[in-house]
Each structure stands twice: as C-alpha cells, then as structure tokens.
Structure 1
Amino acid sequence: MTPRPFRILIAAAMLAAAVPACAQDAYPAKPVRLIVNFPAGGPLDTVARLIAERAGRDLKQPVVVENRSGAGGNIGAEAVAHATPDGYTLLMSTDTVVTVNPFAYRKMSFDPVRDLEPVGLAGTFNQVLVTHPGLKIRDLKQFLAAGKDKDLSYASAGVASPGHIVFEMLKARTQIRGTHVPYKGNAPALSDVLAGQVPAGFLATPTAVQYIKGGKLVALAVSGLKRDPLLPDVPTVAETGIANFDAEFAFVMFLPSGTPAAIRARWEQQLKTVFADADFQKKLLAQGVRPQTSNGAAAAQWLAAGRTRWGELIRKLGVSLD
C-alpha cells in the first residue's frame, strides 16, 4: 500500500494537472472583444455584429464589438496582434490587412502573417464597376473601348483599397487608360460618381446597389468569378471575355498567434454553427455578402493566394503609404 504522504503528493499533482483543463473547459469565463478594424455601419461591421449576437448566446458570455478604424485596417489589427493570446480578443477584418497592406505600407508595427492566425472566412464580397448615366456607356465592352480612346478617371475608397487594385488589375489586363481619384472611404467616392464629378469606379456592391436599381448608376460588371446575389443580371468581368478575371474579397476572423488550439477550434466551430443558420445567411445576402465560411487552414490558403496576386500588383503600381 502506498504511504499516506506519497498519496497526498500524487493527489496534489493530479489536481494541479487538472486545473489548466478545467480553466480551458470554462472558456469563455468573461466577455469577449471582437475588434472590427473599419468604421461602424459598413458591411464588415454588420456581419461582425450578427456573428457576435449569435456567438454570445451560444457561448453564454457577451461578445462585444469594438470599432478601431484607420490606416487601412492596420490600427485595429495591431491591437489584436499585440493582445494576450487567451481567446478574449478577436479581429474581424477584410482580407486586405494581410494580402495588401504589408506590400502597400512602408512601416507596420506588426506582421499580420506572423502575429495573427485566421479562424476562418466570414463571407465574401465583390466590387462592382459603375458609371454615371451621363457617360452613356451601357456595358463593359463599351467602357473598354472608351478607355482605349481617352483617359477615364475612376474613384475608389482610397489608395490600395479593393476598388483601386481591382481597377488597376483591369487596366493591366486590357491596356485601357484611367487616372485614379482616391477618396477616404466608399461613401465619398460613391457621392462623386453619383454627382458625375468622376465618371466611373469599382465600388463595394452593398454601397452601390440601391443607386444601380434606382437608375442613378449604371452597373457594368462585378469583379468575382460568380455573379453577385444582389445584382444577378450584371455579368462578371470574366463573362465579357477577360478570362479568369477573379477579384473577390473576404471578411476574415483572426485570433492573436499563440492562442491555444482548443480555443481556436471552439471559434472555428462557432463560425460553422453561425453560417449554418438560414436566417443568418439571408441577412448576409441582404448585405451583398456571400455566406461563405471555412476553417482556419482553408482561410490561410485564401490569404496566401491573395498575397501572391495582390503583392505582385502593388509592387508594379509602386504604391507606398505611411
């Protein structure tokens, strides 16, 4: 029979070993922050709040959305990259914080590839090429013909924004001319295209769709390989004859690197559960967001492919931001 002192030591060791497991099983034991690195009110913010509402019910702890915008999403992403990797701080971002920003910004105080690990995709979305009706162009072929005869200025949400890099991708594939007119966000870019101050632009579909349907803008093409659910009658760029033109973007959920695998798996499952809900899918489609999700490994592949595609284009453009 084992002497009593040794039995006490063994019991103490077993108790100590059980503490981390119990602590992990108790996750989350307090509210979770979900940082959104763009302003409130946009599609990314809306999707984040829908996910937070459902996750809060499932996890039985509040999931609090906090907007930290600026520097193309770098400010909010940096806060998460430098957070304690305990599962209580997550990031909801567009994929460009990993696929574009490291090539476009001269200095970043964190490495998004090293310091953030993806939980999964949280929806995908297109850009739509629109023109002012006064331009009297009705389809992409007419637009490309006009762009070879003269320089057509175009608006975007800013330097290195999706609208900027997609238009430059179109220029590279077709040899049209076009002068970039950057704005501080989709809203002011949209405003000037509506006013006819700038004749065209690739804009986020959700921000432009009501004006397209109201006849105030003409939609020529969407940027992804598949037609947009909000604009089913608008062809893709690829459908017009520019083979394999694919410029789709994604919302991605991230955790700080080093977060325990069990917590990461918990959030992967949470995303899967949320995206399986039919009501949630309808709400995403209403925002112009395709309800597409994945696990962390598949999201990492998406990001790696985006870095290859957009990194090369950013280098060719010579974009350099502070």
Structure 2
Amino acid sequence: MIKSLLLCAALLAAGSAAAAPSDYPARPIRLVVNFPPAGPLDLEARAIAQHAGKILGQTVIVENRSGASGNIGAQSVAQAAPDGYTLLMTLDTLMTVNPFIFKGLDQEVTRRLEPLSLAGSFGLALAVRPELGIGTLDEFLGYAKSHPITYASAGYGSPGNLAFEKLRLAAGMEVAHVPYRGNAPAVNALLGDQIQAAFLAVPGVLPHVKAGKLRAIAVSGKERDADLPDVPTAAQSGVAGLKDYDVAFAFLVMAPKGTPGSIARVWEKTLAQVYALPEFQQSMAALGMRGPFAGRDEAQAWVRREALGWKGVIEKAGIKGE
C-alpha cells in the first residue's frame, strides 16, 4: 500500500511538473544572451524580447552573460528552473562545436538545454586586401601556394575559424591562424594589413568592401548573399574539392531541459508570430540574418546535422578551445 501511495505521489508530481500554469507567463521572463551587447545576437534577442513581450503581455528582459565562447551564459540557463522564465539566445556553435573543443562541456551544459526555435541563419564572406591583386577564390588558393597566408578569426571555434579550416582542409592549403577576441579586432587586423584574409560576417565587412578597403572573393553559404550579389559562393568557384562547400551558422532560442511541453509550445507559437512581423523581418535583413526561422523540430534537426559536420572538421583540423 505504501509503495502504491508513493508511486501515485511521484506520478502526480511528474504530471504537475510537465503542465504549464494556466496563467503563464505570470511574471517577467529572462532571456539570457551569452555574448556581449550590441552584436547581431544581442540585437536580435532585443527585437524578439520587444515583440514577444507585447504578444505575451509580459516583460521579457534581455540579460547579457558573455564569456568562454558562450559557455558562461549557457551554464546559467542550464542550471535554472525549467519553468519557462529563463531562456537562452545563443549562437548554434554552443551545441554544434563547443562540445567537441571544450572538454567536459557536453554533460555539464549542452545536455541540459533544448532548442525551442531556430532564429535565422547567416553566412560569411571571405575577404582579402585589394593590394594582393586577388579577385577570385581560385586566384587566392593559387596565391597561397607560393605566399604565406595568415588569417584572422574571432577565436578558436568561432565561425571564421571553422569556415577557414573547412576551406583549408578541402583545398589543401597551408595557412596560419591568428585568433582575436571578437570580430571587430579581426576586421581591424585585416584593414591594418596585419593578416591577409578572413571569413567575416557580411554586415561587418560590407562597408569596407563598398569603400574599396577590402575585397570579398567568395561567400560561404550554398546561395549568394543578398548584400553581395556579385560575389560567388565558394562552391561556385570551380575549385576541385569545394563543390559541396556550404557553411552557415544560426541563432537558437533554448530552454532548460525539462521545460513543460505546453510552455515550449507557447514560445514556439509566440516566436512564429514574431518572425512573421514585417518590421522584425526588416530588422533581421539589416543584420544579415536569413532563413530559416523555424520551430523546435527544425532547430533540433539543424543542431544534429551541423554537429555531425563540425565534429569531423574539428578533429581533422585539431581545433581546441582556449
């Protein structure tokens, strides 16, 4: 009898934990951004917070907790109660890259978080200095055979590092990597002639390309970038080994694992409404964000696919976290 009562109590407790309160959200929601303010991730998070707050009738507070390639902010959310009041806005590399370059992270953080939504994707542009006299990716690879090439990135495991290492492995290049603490210093290093090339987010490099200070010779995605329509994709370069080259990164909205399905559905529906707003779409286009903007299933599929691909690149390139 006692065992039966204990079992019933456990089942009732589990059922209550899985159900969302009927008044959710009843208090402000915290949206943690695990990178510094003023970057694309932070700006999109603030746009989501503004629009979602209106839809939900509750304040959504953006809190920046950066450091350790996003791990610090992610850990704070992973340790939060799975009640829908603490969410995470992150670059997908937290789930697709960090577990392979930061020892012990998989158990500690990534398995305690689950995607709620895929909040857009973006590609990179391979930029060089015009003084090199290089106009195409094929010419760049030829130049690299007889000249030392140093490239910059925002750090080990950053999008620029990953994209360049994938290119290096596919094309058989010999290059040196200089990691900087953020995208802005990497751009400045290229402008200052401290390095020869870098894969950079298009919005960050576009003004310098238009001013003639840098030259974009390829974009990383499978389609041309709307802001650089005359720049071919790496796959379109005609270079052997690059016909399947396709590199894109995404933003994810995540929650602590164990968040009730009903709360997850509230957010999936709310975010779909946010993504459909013309003003949101315009602001995302200005940030260089493209589709897909999608729900939980698509987000989980993205993470699985990208993690599998980056695991192989990281192992072959020997990328290790700082």
* TM-score normalised per structure 2: 0.91
Counterpart of 1:136?
A: 133
Q: Distance in 1 between matches of 2:275 and 2:21?
A: 25
Moved more, 89-98 or 175-184: 175-184
- Corresponding residue for residue 216 of structure 2: 219
Structure 2 residue matching 1:230: 3-state secondary structure: coil
Q: Which residues of 2 match residues 185-200 of structure 1 at below 5 A?
A: 185-200=182-197
- The residue number in structure 2 matching 1:5 is none
Match for residue 114 of structure 2? Answer: 117
Residues 55-81 of structure 1, C-alpha deviations (whole Å, 9 max, x = no match): 000111110000111111101111111
Q: Tell me how far 1:279 sits from its aligned partner.
A: 1.7
8 Å CA contact retained: 2:113, 2:256: yes
Aligned mates of 2:293, 2:133 — CA distance in 1: 39
Aligned equivalents of 1:279, 1:87: Cα separation in 2: 26
CA contact (8 A) 1:130 1:219 kept: yes
**Aligned counterparts of 2:193 and 2:278: Cα–Cα separation in 1:** 40
Report if aligned partners of 1:34, 1:65 keep a CA contact under 8 Å in 2: yes
Write out per-residue CA displacement over residues 240-277 of structure 1, whole angstroms, 9 at most, x where no aligned residue: 12211111000010010000000001111111111111
- 1:144-155 equivalence runs, <5 A: 144-155=141-152
- Give the CA deviation at 1:151: 2.5
Provide the residue aligned with 2:64 in structure 1.
67
1:30 correspondence with 2:27: yes
Conserved 8 A contact 2:221-2:248: yes
What's the % identity of the aligned pairs? 47
After superposition, the C-alpha distances for 1:113-140 in whole angstroms (9 at most, x for unaligned) are 4211101110100111000122121111
Q: 1:309 matched to which residue of 2? A: 309
Q: Which amino acid aligns with 1:148?
A: K
- Equivalence for 1:265: 265
Aligned to 1:299: 299
Relative distance call for 1:89 and 1:69 in structure 2 (3 A) is same
1:10 matched residue in structure 2? none
- What is the CA–CA distance in structure 2 between the aligned matches of 1:118 and 1:287, rounded to whole Å? 22
Q: Tell me the matched-pair count.
A: 306
**Unaligned regions of 5+ residues in structure 1, if any?**
1-18
Measure, in 2, the Cα distance between the counterparts of 1:321 and 1:91: 22
Q: CA deviation at 1:22?
A: 9.7
Give the secondary structure class of the aligned counterpart of 1:190. Answer: helix
2:9 aligns with none
Which blocks of at least 5 consecutive residues in structure 2 are unaligned? Answer: 1-15
Alpha-carbon distance change, 192 to 112 in structure 1, aligned in 2, over 3 angstroms: same
* Contact 1:43–1:206 under 8 Å retained in 2: no
Shift of 1:213: 1.2
Find out whether 1:252 has 2:252 as its counterpart. yes
Q: Return closer, same or farther for 1:21/1:251 CA change in 2, 3 Å cut-off.
A: closer
Q: What residue in structure 1 maps to residue 6 of structure 2?
A: none
Alignment match, 1:104: 101
Helix, strand or coil for the counterpart of 1:24? coil
Q: 1:23 to 1:293 in 2, by over 3 A?
A: closer
What are the Cα deviations for residues 155-214 of structure 1, in whole angstroms up to 9, with x where unaligned? 111111110111010011111221111101101010010111111101111211111111
Q: Report the residue type matching 1:33 in the other structure.
A: R
- Aligned residues of 1:132 and 1:217 also touching (Cα < 8 A): yes
